[in-house]
Amino acid sequence: MSPIRLALVGLGKIARDQHLPAIAATEGIELVAVASRNASLDGVAHFATLAELLASGEAIDAVALCTPPQGRHDLAALALKAGKHVLLEKPPGATVSELGPLVAAAEVSGRTLFATWHSRFAPAVEPARAFLSEVAPRAVTITWKEDVRVWHPGQRWIWEPGGLGVFDPAINALSILTAILPRAVFVTGAELSFPSNCAAPIAATVDLADAGGLKVHADLDFLQTGPQSWDIAVETDRGTLLLSHGGAKLTLDGQVLSAQPEAEYQNIYKHFVELVAEGRSDVDLAPLQLVADAFLLGRRVDVAPFHD
């Protein structure tokens, strides 16, 4: 089968840091075009907008949307209508409800829609899921703290409605959580800290549970300096299972069970190639639904304004 001819829509930090090297390292897909108002790549066809790209007649099979989540629905709908496969960066949209029509459009057009959760493709996530399928969890603690000034420098969209604030990184933890636990979880309470000049929280605590009474507590912060914390600790009868480094390393009471080099985005594109070949879509909304529920149930706390 010929390689999937891919267009990258949005050429910001995440596209340059993760998508470009992953595409280059993945068999079965090649980058042939970029749509971006502010950036271009040498040797790759460039267009200011996706609409301009689709109207040009440039031969593409798929698009990867690396734009902010606000407005991504319209871009995905446009691409599906044009008969293109669509890969969505996380979160897949600014709202939960906007994804349903895209799933329906993909089915009608016979195209693949892939809502990526890159942290699920971290190397220790599957070993953690396999362990917890045999050993029941007793309690879970999530510590997800990073520095927004490092990971999203000057990106004001993250503080606007739909930008998610601290839940932009924390949804990675929720995507792992919903992948490794044997039962679905739901939000039972939350406290969200909003800077006075932002429409999205900069820190939060979230409590969750499952139908069997499992308790999950998440401590989230977007102002962490120094070492960054991306850890999920699960208490079990066999000891404490710790998924650390964003899902790259798995230990049980300090004993290493799994530790491999990071290859999340390359695995995303490998999965996308497989989905297209099989004529399937992959859209799991559970992590985004949990964020929406945290906003619904969360008690708002006003904090000092945020400045880059």
The residues annotated with a catalytic role in the active site are 90
| Tally of CB atoms within 10 A around 86 | 28
Q: Is the dihedral of CA 54, 59, 64, 66 positive or negative?
A: negative
* Inter-residue contact 292 to 278 (CB < 8 Å): no
Please, are residues 93 and 113 in contact by the beta-carbon 8 Å criterion? Answer: no
Residue burial 239-249, b: 16+ Cβ < 10 Å; e: rest: eebbbbbbbbb
> By the 8 A CB rule, do 75 and 50 touch?
yes
Q: How much of the chain is in helix, strand and coil states, percent to nearest 5?
A: 35, 30, 35
What is the rounded distance in angstroms from the CA atom of residue 145 to the CA atom of residue 170?
8
Contacts 24+ apart (CB under 8 A), 249-255: 249/124, 250/124, 250/127, 250/128, 250/131, 252/131
